[in-house]
Structure 1
Amino acid sequence: MVFAFLSLCIDPLIRRRKGGDFMMDSHIHLSYAYYDQLFPYIDMENGDFVIREGKRDSLIREMKKRGIECCIEPAIDVASNELLLRLSSQERGFIYPAVGNHPTRCIHSSLRDFKRVREYAKSPEVVAIGETGLDYHYERKKQHRLKQKLWFQWQINLAHEMELPLILHIRLAHEDALRILTKNKGKLHGGVCHCFAGGADVAKVYTEELGLCLGIGGTLLMKQQISESLKQAVASVSMESLLLETDGPYVKPERPDGIVGKRWKKAHNTSLILPAVAKRIAEIKDIPIEDVMKITAENTKRVFHLT
């Protein structure tokens, strides 16, 4: 029923505006090596999620045809910075790089690694510092969390030095993250709490007290309880505080009944699901989907200073 309704509302938009520049993916990973080979990925057809196969080049071509104007790719570890900078130079004006070190990777990183990140940040094409933040889902040891906090502070300082926004990865750690961000409020140059999955109270602190945006993606299309809490958060903040994202190849929507679990598990999430995310936000906000696409694109340009 839900997917049939999406079909009626989304597909005419795709057909009418195919080739247009009306959506931006504020968080996706496209430089991974497995994109060099044929891989399964999630697409949309007649309002339903479907699985197709392709390589990175064909996926990027399809993204452009569907009206994805550009996307932001953040680093996940120190080594990935070089890969995404290389890809962004090949897709200049379409893929914008953010450099940094993910909180789950930084526990094995050194001061020397931070100096490398700092050098990457000097590249003129870099639009943000990230992913950075705190992730307590896996790292429960005290020394690991302390290392995450150290790297978080380093990257906040780096973003301030370079006058760049932050791309935040905060998982099961909002209390500590907000404490650190509030302490450094004077150093912030905007940014986004990506893959946001918190409630309305937390959302308002990020947006109203710290002036940050929330990245909304596949989590909003899930049936879990976390999705209900996220709906309330989306409803509670202004449209000017929301960005569309996918976190591809991760954070997939709820698996449709017509796709076998193993196929869905192997498929990569992509920017091609953005119309479904925009549609769900439009339902929550009770505004046209065109407005969601337009406003979130403008927000992305503003946050990352895109021309």
Structure 2
Amino acid sequence: MFLVDSHCHLDSLDYQTLHTSVDDVVEKARARDVKFMLAVATTLPGYRAMADLIGPRPEVAFSCGVHPLNIEEGYDFEELRILAADSRVVAMGETGLDYFYQKEDFQLKLQQDSFRHHIRVGRELNKPVIVHTRDARQDTLDILREEQAGECGGVLHCFTEDKNTAKVLLDLGFYISFSGIVTFRNAEQLREAARYVPMDRLLIETDSPYLTPVPHRGKENQPSYVRDVAEYLAVVKGVSLDTLAVATTENFSRLFHIDSARLA
């Protein structure tokens, strides 16, 4: 079996008390059949530090981008393009919109401009966008349409929206990724959306160190726990774990243009 954690923050894990090294995290994941992971950046300095921490590894790919809550200090758009052009980078982001914490007009405008720029660079480099959205459903969908994000493709990561939003994203050619939230007791609307999303558009993730799935609630999340997301989602979808593993791994390979030989 081959499982992929399509979204984790390897640079943010607890290397003081929980893990001795990135090697330790990778081995814990491999012990549970999680054999590849996408390490996601949230700032440009953070991307450089993350790449230095992890180094070249056959089982880890990188994204490069600036999270919508990290753009107020500004960043160099050209630097983003240069860093994202690196062959180790397979995606832009995470990018998107988050109106939960920021509500001022100038803050929303900064987020929207940054989101548009990530999509434009993604189209230029033919690298998909990893999209974060919170309390910004309509603006997120509008910008994806206006910027023709379907040309580079992408994924709505850590999906927490409803079935109707899933339909729009699927119509745009996007993939949808489910995290540990799908295992939460009060997440029935999310499970309904998961039942709706076809197997060929489905991804799984941890978003570690955040959003730890049942039965590990209260602990820091880590890539090995994507196995728990997969097991739960397989039940929701009414398929075997092997079937879900094959589908989500193939989807990951296709979306991020990663040679399937690396995922075998």
| TM-score normalised by the chain length of structure 2 | 0.92
Q: Distance in 2 between matches of 1:115 and 1:186?
A: 19
Counterparts in 2 of 1:158 and 1:276: CA distance versus 1, 3 Å: same
Deviation, 1:31, is: 1.8
1:195 aligns with 2:158: yes
Mean CA deviation greater in 194-203 or 120-129:
120-129
Aligned twin of 2:70 = 105
1:31 aligns with 2:11: yes
Aligned twin of 1:215 = 177
Deviation, 1:218, is: 0.6
Deviation, 1:187, is: 5.8
Deviation, 1:133, is: 0.4
CA contact (8 A) 2:4 2:204 kept: yes
Alignment counterpart, residue 122 of structure 1, candidates 81, 85, 96? 85
Q: Distance in 2 between matches of 1:90 and 1:293?
A: 25
Work out the percentage of aligned pairs sharing the same amino acid: 30
Q: How does 1:16-95 map to 2 (within 5 A)?
A: 21-32=1-12, 35-39=14-18, 54-91=20-57, 93-95=58-60
Q: Distance in 2 between matches of 1:241 and 1:288?
A: 17
- Aligned length in residues: 259
Q: Distance in 2 between matches of 1:70 and 1:183?
A: 33
Q: Distance in 2 between matches of 1:284 and 1:268?
A: 24
AA at the equivalent of 2:116: Q
CA contact (8 A) 1:156 1:187 kept: no
SS at match of 1:297: helix
Please give the per-residue CA displacement for 1:57-107, whole angstroms capped at 9, x wherever unaligned: 31222212322121111111121110222245332x211001010000012
Aligned twin of 2:229 = 277
Aligned twin of 1:49 = none
Q: Distance in 1 between matches of 2:242 and 2:150?
A: 34
AA at the equivalent of 1:247: D
1:243 aligns with 2:203: yes
SS at match of 1:132: strand
Q: Distance in 2 between matches of 1:271 and 1:228?
A: 24
Aligned twin of 1:12 = none
Q: Distance in 1 between matches of 2:44 and 2:36?
A: 23
AA at the equivalent of 2:204: L
Aligned twin of 2:141 = 178
Alignment counterpart, residue 128 of structure 2, candidates 165, 177, 185? 165
Counterparts in 2 of 1:290 and 1:94: CA distance versus 1, 3 Å: same
SS at match of 2:139: helix
Aligned twin of 1:228 = 188
Q: Distance in 2 between matches of 1:166 and 1:173?
A: 17
Mean CA deviation greater in 215-224 or 246-255:
246-255
Structure 1, unmatched stretches of 5+, are 1-20, 40-52
Deviation, 1:290, is: 1.0
1:151 aligns with 2:114: yes
Structure 2, unmatched stretches of 5+, are 260-264
1:252 aligns with 2:212: yes
Q: Distance in 2 between matches of 1:277 and 1:143?
A: 37
CA contact (8 A) 1:81 1:117 kept: no
Please give the per-residue CA displacement for 1:181-222, whole angstroms capped at 9, x wherever unaligned: 111226631111000000100011111x11111111111011
Deviation, 1:144, is: 0.4
Q: Distance in 1 between matches of 2:38 and 2:80?
A: 17
Q: Distance in 1 between matches of 2:32 and 2:234?
A: 19
Q: Distance in 1 between matches of 2:191 and 2:28?
A: 29
Q: Distance in 2 between matches of 1:303 and 1:218?
A: 21
Return the index of the structure with the highest Cα Rg: 1
| TM-score normalised by the chain length of structure 1 | 0.80
Aligned twin of 1:8 = none
Q: Kindly report structure 1 stretches of 4+ aligned residues shifted beyond 4 Å.
A: none
AA at the equivalent of 1:211: G
